Structure 1
Amino acid sequence: MKTPRYFLASLGLLGATFVHAYTGNELLADFEAQGVRRVGSMQYVRGVVDGITSSQIATRRDFVCIPEGVTVGQITDVAINELQRSPANRHLDAGAIVYLAFVETWPCKAGTGNPRQGR
């Protein structure tokens, strides 16, 4: 039986794939840039918030409780402040840095109206 050449070509592409983690250094550089890069960095932070929300719903465990009314500008400021405050950690995964900044800034507390608290 002959192996289709498209299958063999796809295996070659798999071997050439390189996964690169977006670091805190890159995120801060994008925040400091103008235009599309800056907008992209803000969207990245919004994506981290979406990921946190999805994870908390799926696991029924809350670690971050961002209050109602917090704006994209505020979550962006929290991310930027953390990146500037902790240069020793900026080589790490940007999503993890942002997540931990949110845990520190908006931790969930018992009795704060968190619907999954205590489940």
Structure 2
Amino acid sequence: MTTNQVCWILATQIYPQKSLEPIENYKMKYCIALIFVFISGTAFSTEIKTANQLYQACKTEQKGCDTHIRAVYDTLEYRELMCPPDNITNKEVKDIIVQELQENPQTRHKPSIDLVMVWLLKRWPCT
């Protein structure tokens, strides 16, 4: 089985095929990021699993919100899978994710790690 096939299987297990259309250009990057994020699983040992749980944690200023978002952010940045501006703050990153959660309530049943990862990759692609 090729890497592309493994990545496609992973991606389609998380999202129905039609919802992958917006990230079509990011499929391989998405897969690589997904693998690295799950390998870094110890960083995600909080009780936050779904985007609904993340949204509630962020709205009530629970520490798990910041930790959860930052763990995904740091993994993607360290692996050079995204290229955010040098001067971005933790609060700005959190605000971006909370805004995405507010604007996309229909996706909040999905795994929070996946959504945060997709939104960050789309926001700061490396060119």
- TM-score bracket for the superposition, by shorter chain length: 0.5 to 0.7
**What is the aligned counterpart of 1:52 among 72, 76, 81?**
76
Letter in 2 for 1:33: T
**Structure 2 counterpart of 1:10:** none
How far apart are the structure 2 equivalents of 1:21 and 1:84?
17
**Structure 2 counterpart of 1:26:** 53
How far 1:63 moved relative to its partner?
3.4
How far apart are the structure 2 equivalents of 1:108 and 1:49?
14
How far 1:87 moved relative to its partner?
0.9
How far apart are the structure 2 equivalents of 1:21 and 1:43?
10
**Structure 2 counterpart of 1:98:** 116
Flag the structure with larger Rg.
1
How far 1:53 moved relative to its partner?
3.0
Unaligned 5+ segments in structure 2 are 1-46
Unaligned 5+ segments in structure 1 are 1-19, 57-61, 110-119
Letter in 2 for 1:47: A
How far apart are the structure 2 equivalents of 1:49 and 1:22?
16
For the pair 1:72 / 2:90, whether they are aligned, the reply is yes
% identical aligned pairs: 26
**Structure 1 counterpart of 2:26:** none
| Residues 25-58 of structure 1, C-alpha deviations (whole Å, 9 max, x = no match) | 0000001114xx2x2201111111122134x2xx
**Structure 2 counterpart of 1:81:** 99
Richer in helix (by share): 2
| TM-score, normalised relative to structure 2 | 0.58
How far 1:70 moved relative to its partner?
0.3
Letter in 1 for 2:54: L
| TM-score, normalised relative to structure 1 | 0.62
Aligned length: 81
How far 1:78 moved relative to its partner?
1.0
